[in-house]
A = this chain, B = another copy of it.
Amino acid sequence: MAVTLADVAARAGVSAATVSRVLSGNYPVAGATRSRVLRAVEELEYVVNGPASSLAAATSDLVGVLVNDIADPFFGIMASAVQSEMEPEKAGGKLAVVCNTGGSPERELTYLTLLQRQRAAAVVLTGSAVEDPAHTEALSTRLRRLAAAGTRVVLCGRPPLPEADGDSGRDGEKDAVDGGAPLTVAFDNRGGARRLTGHLLALGHRRIGYVAGPAERTTTRHRLEGHRAALADHDRALLAEAERLTVHGAYDRSSGYDGTLELLRREPGLTAVLAANDTVALGVCAALREAGLSIPGDVSVAGFDDLPFSADASPALTTVRIPLHDAGARAGRLALGRESAPPGGVATVRTELMVRASTAAPRANQPAAQAG
């Protein structure tokens, strides 16, 4: 039915092998022959059969990119960056397969299987990992098998996998074969959160609410840890309050809204609210406004990530910038083997505090004499 290599070969008066060599370009072919073949390809509108060539060559040009939520710019930016590294011009037409896990661990595993089935050349897992031990175990297993099957695995925006316990001795040999643990591009969420809370503390805030992400995510935990570390640094007494002033929710707008209402209920004297990310911060602002509170007059608000809309929010959002594009691009290059692995296999990208209009000193700037 469709035009095949053989058809092209016949038309060009050469063997199929020659056509294959011309097309893959990694083998010397006489100039005249080559152009004859190319012409035949044109005339017949020949398009390589990917599955057939993947089968024969035992490789594929698919690269999987797993994201929690493709409609969220946080992931969109990373996915776009990963893909930008495999543009046809740059990397011989690799195809990025963006898979939307919706944050579900099962779907994550399912997609990984699907990708393994496609014999993907590489897989990039973006965003926070779910910290359930059973899932971590299952995930490690899957990734190990993928790696063993020759698929490059890269983590972007999540910490390296925990070490598999107890068999490091045996692994020595295997590592040499499959390249060992997945390469990682991690974000300094902890440091960013710490600086952000430090900024609020320096402004004089003491009653700081925190609308955190889902409890079992690495990103959530790291940001929360950074927040509390800053609190502890400043005054250990603040730490006692921290628990009460923290609520958890999804990484979306409505969690910010609902969470803020809850926080206000628990502590009407709140002078600042920290959000799990910028999207959540939008919800926080909405709830605050509806409660008749001005930002930052009555309450300061800050987000995390510095998504494009954050600078344009009104007031412009104080947040922590993560170089998502750079990180994604780097992950893409690692996935294609176009960049050498960082020392230890883990590259941590810096985060940067972006102070904007949504944070200011609390109205009655009393130096927390009572609490301290």
Contact between B313 and A314, CB atoms less than 8 A apart: yes
Contact residues of A between 55 and 110, Cβ < 8 Å to B: 55, 60, 62, 69-73, 75-77, 79-80, 83-84, 87-88, 93, 95-100, 107, 110
Which of these, B48, B54, B114, B149, contacts A93 with CB under 8 Å? B114
Summarize A's interface: helix, strand, loop or mixed: helix
- Extra contacts, 8 of them, besides A88-B114, A95-B99, A253-B309 (Cβ < 8 A), are A49-B55, A50-B51, A62-B118, A76-B76, A93-B114, A97-B97, A253-B308, A285-B314
Q: CA of A99 to CA of B98 in the docked complex: distance in angstroms?
A: 8
Q: Are A49 and B314 in touch, CB under 8 angstroms?
A: no
CB of A92 to closest CB in B, whole Å: 10
Partner among B87, B114, B118 whose Cβ is within 8 Å of the Cβ of A107:
B87
Contact between A48 and B149 (Cβ–Cβ < 8 Å)?
A: no
User: Whole-angstrom distance between the alpha carbons of A71 and B80 in the complex?
Assistant: 6
Q: Contact: B60 with A70, CB < 8 Å?
A: no
**Which residues of B lie under 8 Å from residue A62 when comparing CB positions?**
97, 118
The copy count of this chain in the complex is 2
Say whether A289 contacts B309, CB under 8 Å: no
Q: How many residues of A contact B (CB 8 A)?
A: 57
B71 touches A282 (CB 8 A): no
Binding site for B on A (CB under 8 A): 2, 45, 47-52, 54-55, 60, 62, 69-73, 75-77, 79-80, 83-84, 87-88, 93, 95-100, 107, 110-111, 113-119, 145, 149, 253, 279, 282-283, 285-286, 289, 308-309, 312-314
